[in-house]
Chain A
Amino acid sequence: MLSLSLKYRKKTWISRRLKEKLIHGFFFFNGIISVIILLGIFALLIFTAIPAFREVNLKEFLFGIQWNPTAYVKNSYGILPMLVSTFMVTLGALFIAIPLGVGTAAYLSDVASPRVREITKPIIEILAGIPSVVIGFLGIVLVGPIIAKIFGTHNGLNALNGSILLAVMALPTIISISEDTLTNIPDSYNQASLALGATKWQTIIKVKIPAGLSGIIAACMLGMGRAIGETMTVLMATGCAPAMPESFLGPVRTLTSSIAIELGEVAYNTTHYYALFALGLVLFIITFLVNLTSDIILHKYEKVNR
């Protein structure tokens, strides 16, 4: 009888249940750790950045147009030029990457034969796997001289160069997510449009891309997040002059490259050091917001599609 066996096993059951609970707890800890890390990053950035504002006022920090933490007379900590530089380079990159990326995604999802798709997909994966430092290096030795020749500038290490490289880096993200979105659009849309006599091209432009617009926007936002946070390429290829950028052909210095350049030389626990963490905090907040927005868009999109 079952009842007998239950009583008989009660002891092993309790220890078994305890063991299962412990294992569950162990994995829960593993699961929760990503939350801890995210909060930890945020908290440590804040705590290390706060001391900077004992000396620097927040308004001056955000809107000051001069960044000179090692001046003889008075140090200045204005990050506006870096913010402008960051957005300039990023927008330039998006200007190149969005049409190329969305075009490629549309081609892969709707036009390409399965064979072409099979060849192209790994190519895009390989592109995503190329280290940023290699791309930055090519910015110096390959893209730079070309830009210098075409525009007659001194060395070609400028915002345009950075934008081109960042476009290359953002492309895989934009392509793969846009393509997922376009492929997941119900086939009924496609067929309805074709049945009404639209050409395949008209269907892509007038039906599929509008239907997948939110997913495509999310993809571009993610690409943007990557571009804003990218360090090595811009550090190597944009010339890094810490002044207000004048044009796409002038040198710029983004938030990321400022941190990369200066953190190696600064003494720990000085105002300059804290100020660099404040830069990191600003960077963290910007990318967080960009990624969060894209996340919200993607999720809304998923829900609608379900």
Chain B
Amino acid sequence: MSVLTKHGIKMEQKPLNHTGKMADNKNSNIKIFIKNFNFYYGASQALKNISLDIRENTVVGIIGPSGCGKSTFLRCFNRMNDTIVGVRYQGDILIDGNNIFDKELDIVDLRRNVGMVFQKSNPFPKSIFENVAYGLRVNGIKDKEYLTHKVEKSLKDAALWDEVKDRLANSAFDLSGGQQQRLCIARALAVEPEILLLDEPASALDPIATAKVEELIHELKKKYTIVIVTHNMQQAARISDYTAFFMMGELIEYDITSKIFTKPSKKTTEDYITGRFG
């Protein structure tokens, strides 16, 4: 079965990939499809000919040494790189069969469907309530009742509700680091995205807060497709279904997580996993 998109790119339901194996989860659809993707900052190439696909309701972990282009890659899915001067890209990224670089596509709509949580938690200097409601408000939602309901639900989904329900009017800066990061997740969930991008969401958190975020990610998988960049290999092993290993802008290997961590097919991957560098 294949889908022919309006841009004429034939999208296989079960596309080839680098390992040739894409075994389990057969019943889930391909959510993000990346083909021959190149990315440049000015003259320097940050991503080289990346091809992979991401299935619905899975967690994909992206690992690799720092500077390997994993964050850049992540920021392509909601085109956040567009805010940087002098970037260029080549190739295709398709979400549900729509090329996200299509001129016809509304970038604002894309970002509403592809939520993102940044490496450093970045709550706005507003109240907790207003932080979560922000995305809804810019969507033009004014109905107070709906906002209240939605904020509560998002905070519950982000496992933060019980900790903040009595102080929604307080500044978001009053929260601890881990709470702030979960607030940012709640903020992203409030606009009902289909895909969630997490850029090292736990890198600045203590182990307990990290565990909470990881638990949350596991929970969120049921509703969302999640792509997470992490420099922590154990974390990738714990939470992701698939793992992609990047090095120097290239995708070295992409496979089921258990396979990557036990029987990688590439020597470089093995070296990295076993901690011989990076």
Contact = CB atoms under 8 A, between A and B. Distances in A.
Contacts of A17: 106
Interface stretch (A3-11, A69-77, A209-217, A264-272): A3-11
A2 interface: yes
A137 to B, nearest CB: 46
A16 B106 CA distance: 9
Given A2-B113, A2-B194, A9 B96 contact: no
Contacts, number: 23
Interface in B154-195: 194
B97 interface: yes
Contacts of B97: 3
A17 B108 CA distance: 9
Nearest to A1: B96
B109 interface: yes
Contacts of B108: 13, 16
A2 B95 contact: yes
B194 to A, nearest CB: 7
B234 to A, nearest CB: 33
B105 interface: yes
Contact of A13 (B95, B98, B109, B113): B109
Interface residues of B, number: 10
B99 to A, nearest CB: 11
Contacts of A13: 106, 108-109
A9 B109 contact: yes
A19 B2 CA distance: 38
Contact of B98 (A6, A9, A16): A6
The listed residue with most B CB atoms (<10 A of its CB), out of A2, A16, A17, is: A2
Contacts of B109: 5-6, 9, 13
Interface string A9-40: 10001001100000000000000000000000
A230 B238 CA distance: 71
Nearest to B114: A2
A187 B61 CA distance: 42
A210 to B, nearest CB: 34
Interface string B90-101: 000001111000
A1 B109 CA distance: 12
Nearest to A9: B109
A16 B109 CA distance: 11
Contacts of A3: 96-98
Nearest to B31: A2
